[in-house]
Amino acid sequence: MSVTARWRLAALALAAPFAAFAQAPPAVTIRPSVGAVITRSTRIAPGNYRLPAGTAPDAAFLTVRGDGITLDLTGVTFEGAPSSADPDEAFGTAIRVDGGRAVTITGGRIRGFRFGIAARGTHHLRIAGTDLSYNWKPRLFSLIEHESLADWLSFHHNEKDEWLRFGAAISLIDVDSGAVTGVTAEQGMNGLMMTRTNHLRITGNSFSFNSGLGIGMYRASDNLIANNRIDYDVRGYSHGVYRRGQDSAGLLMFEQCLRNVVAYNSVTHGGDGLFIWAGQQTMDDGKGGVNDNTFVGNDFSFAPTNGMEATFSRNTFIANRIAGSDHGFWGGYSYESLVAGNCFANNRIGIAIEHGQQNGVVENRFDGDTLAIRLWADSIEPSDWGYPKHRDTKSRDWRITRNVFAGNSRVIDAKNTAPLDTTANARESVPSAACVPHVPAEFADRVPALPGVKRAAPISADARRPRSAIIMDEWGPFDWRSPKLAPLDSSHAAMPRFVVVGPAGTWRAVARRGIATLSAEGGVVGDTITVTPAPEATNDWEVTLEYTGAATVSPRGVITPAGVPQRFAFSRFEPRTDWRTRFFIWTDTTVKTPTPDQFTTLLAGTPRFEQRTSRLDFEWYRPLITALPVERWALDATTTVNIPAGEHSLRVISDDAARVWIDGALVIDHWQPHESLADYAPIAPGSHTVRVQYYNLDGWTELRVDILRGSARSVGSAGPH
């Protein structure tokens, strides 16, 4: 089938009827009770409805069941966990749509739930004008100094609906045809999750400032995604320190998503802007993929990793903008794909594709990318991949023509790639002031008409900020709607610096504890402040500022009117520790996982070396301590710590295994190998001896020991399965 024929088939699929939504006005008005089942068109009486704390986590506040039903939520707020609660305390489902046809949910505000709206098996579903912000998201453990492996996501399995563990503002499973329009779903983990969901029109929404995905798709085909804001969906980033994104993305297409059209969206500042992976089926047998999707007129700029990533697949990318990312486009093993009329500007690498075949890179502009295009093929491919056993994976048959390369340090770096057509390209010495995408005349028939869709991505000030505007804390990306003290230095710096960020306004210092001096007592948003802790309080201090200016919205959704003073603070708490650590290495490769007895024998021997540090905090793939090997090493560490009055917790983040004693009592025993996760134990006020044992078998290393105020128990990411 030709590319044009494939597009025409997709266009027919996108023209699914929406007349099913022309229904009679809601017939009844009710004040719902928990667990109510809606079986006819209903208007919920305006008001704020709380889900009682005793309701089971998997229960729904309301269930919609039947055909031709409109649920009108105008003037209604459904609230699960209160705004004062941490976001990972949200639970349950606000509205469950159980099958049915021609169901509409309109208006209202839903917050504090694991799922805002969850629909399964519904035909002709419409969700319009609903605010689903401030729902569930997990605590993050990454620091300004380094990421935490515990924050990484894994979307690889969803045949048994494993994605449900991640929560979502909207979760659609086996839904066919309908529309999601005018919805806001921000400050959660995921905006819209679509599993085996087809023929939807998703337009004019905001799925931004989430800590996982803006939109996630699994085996979802023939959908239109247009004119949406899908910005700042990112999980891990520290400007100038690390930039891997931890598998977050603005738009994720995973496992056999076909013939979707993604047009004129703003998808900036995502871990990846676009993340396409063909899926486990394709990796195993080489068949299928996330194929025949069209991406036109989108802005995928300022991604920590890849503006667009599309691997093991065949797709069309026309007239998109990708600026300020690590890679503009990463397309490993992509084939028969077209990249045309796009603007790549100021990326480290514009396009990077390994083992690509029969791809066209035509009439794009590369402005100021350090390397414009890199193509290559490795002589050895992973032995556990089925794909190269079933497919020819040479890097071959490339067309790179009529492109403009302006101000690039290097233009084309191609290795083990042939044949390669590079005719009719142009070079300019200076990048243009504005890199503007366009639709090449040769490929105009690849761009769908899309009635009712604006031919421009939504514009916002946030989307135009540089990549450094991605500011992360323990709950996700900062949304620039409230004042915040953002650290510029390690939290262990002797005189840490902070920048006051947020809406325009002024600030003044109103309280401090354990601080000798501040570099300034007041100023305007955008100022940098240096904090000098008092000598006796280096590890326990707090500064509080007061902001006056524009109206603000807190990260929990609390609104403060313009001109009303608002306080915000930054604190550091880290009781002093002096860890005495002995490192051991075992060379017996038959010992895959040391038993407690084997570990005791190892510790009875001579350590490879010893070290004294103020923290136990290791995270690496290749050891940062040169005396350690990559695999099969262990440590035994001891310290004395004084805990002040109040409730406190000891937290250990580990990969592969750890156990902890407080005053000789075993309080954490996670000794079987595991991926990175957090364990906790209470620690009482007073002086204590803490002992930590840890081993790393292979791969990534992570060990971090923290002492926190309160009864902390956040488990973080929902895990790999």
Token pair listed for 387: 């794909």
Residue with tokens 């598998």: 247
CATH of the domain at 667: 2.60.120.260
Q: CA 252 to CA 267: how far, in whole Å?
A: 11
Give the closest residue to 105 by CA, choosing from 62, 49, 134, 137.
Answer: 62
For the stretch 274-294, what's the b/e string if a residue is b when 16 or more beta carbons lie within 10 angstroms of its beta carbon?
A: bbbbbbbbbbeebeebbbbbb
Q: What is the largest CA-CA distance in the chain?
A: 81
| Element spanning 479, H or E | none
Q: What confidence tier does 707 reach under pLDDT thresholds 50, 70, 90? A: very high
Instruction: Quick: pLDDT tens for 642-690.
Output: 999 999 999 999 999 999 999 999 999 999 999 999 999 999 999 999 9
Percent of the chain with pLDDT over 90: 83
Distance, in Å, from the CA atom of 503 to the CA atom of 486, rounded to the nearest integer, reads 14
Q: Which residues pair with 24 in a beta bridge?
A: none
List, for residues 331-371, the tens digit of each pLDDT value: 999 999 999 999 999 999 999 999 999 999 999 999 999 99
List, for residues 61-115, the tens digit of each pLDDT value.
999 999 999 999 999 999 999 999 999 999 999 999 999 999 999 999 999 999 9
What is the average pLDDT value for the chain, to the nearest integer? Answer: 93
Is position 498 within any domain?
yes
- Same domain? For 514 and 449 the reply is no
**Per residue in 461-481, pLDDT tens?**
999 999 999 999 999 999 999
> Does 581 score more than 90 pLDDT?
yes
Same domain, 556 and 687: no
Report the sign of the C-alpha dihedral through residues 407, 408, 410, 411, in that order: negative
Out of 28-42, 47-61, 540-554, pick the least confident: 47-61
- Do 447 and 357 sit in the same domain of this protein? yes
Same domain, 352 and 466: yes
Between CA 265 and CA 297 the distance in angstroms is 7
Q: Are residues 553 and 599 in the same domain?
A: no
Question: What distances in angstroms separate CA 139 from CA 172, 358, 610, one per listed residue?
Answer: 24, 43, 34
End position of a domain, from candidates 473, 496, 529: 473
Are 402 and 342 in the same domain?
yes
If asked whether residues 342 and 404 sit together in one domain, one would say yes
pLDDT at 17 over 60: no
Evaluate whether residue 274 is within a structural domain. Answer: no
DSSP label at residue 664: T
Helix (H) or strand (E) holding 150: none
Residue 26 or residue 244, greater confidence: 244
Query: Could you tell me which of 299, 289, 235 has the C-alpha nearest to residue 262?
Result: 299
Sheet with strand 540-549: strands edge to edge: 522-524, 505-513, 540-549, 566-573
Distance CA(276)–CA(220), nearest Å, equals: 12
587 is in which domain, residue-wise? 579-709
Residue 385 pLDDT > 90, yes or no? no
Residue 164: the pLDDT is 94
Based on the fold, state whether residues 317 and 431 are members of the same structural domain. yes
Structure tokens at 584: 């051991």
For position 16, what pLDDT does the model report? Answer: 46
Q: Are 466 and 606 found together in one domain? A: no
Give a yes or no: residue 107 inside a domain.
Answer: no
3-state SS string over 626-652? CCCCCCCEEEEEEEEEEECCCCEEEEE
- How high is the pLDDT of residue 18? 47
Say if 655 falls within a structural domain.
yes
The whole-number average pLDDT for the span 210-239 is 97
Q: Does residue 218 lie within any of the structural domains?
A: no
pLDDT tens, residue by residue, 185-194: 999 999 999 9
Q: Please state the domain count of the chain.
A: 3
| SS3 label, residue 436 | coil
Would you say residue 509 has pLDDT above 90? yes
**What is the per-residue pLDDT for 693?**
96
Query: Which uninterrupted H or E stretch holds 604?
Result: helix 596-604
> What number of CA atoms fall less than 13 Å from residue 42's CA on the CB side?
18
Angle, CA 687 vertex, CA 686 and CA 688 arms, to 5°? 120
Q: Is residue 564 located within the same domain as residue 600?
A: no
Residue that terminates a domain, selected from 473, 497, 516: 473
Same domain, yes or no: 469 and 592: no
Mean pLDDT of 564-587: 95
Q: Does the pLDDT of residue 58 top 70, yes or no? A: no
Residues 6+ apart with CB under 8 A from 61: 32, 34, 35, 36, 49, 51, 55, 78, 80, 92, 93, 94, 95, 113
Confidence band for 720, pLDDT divided at 50, 70 and 90: very low
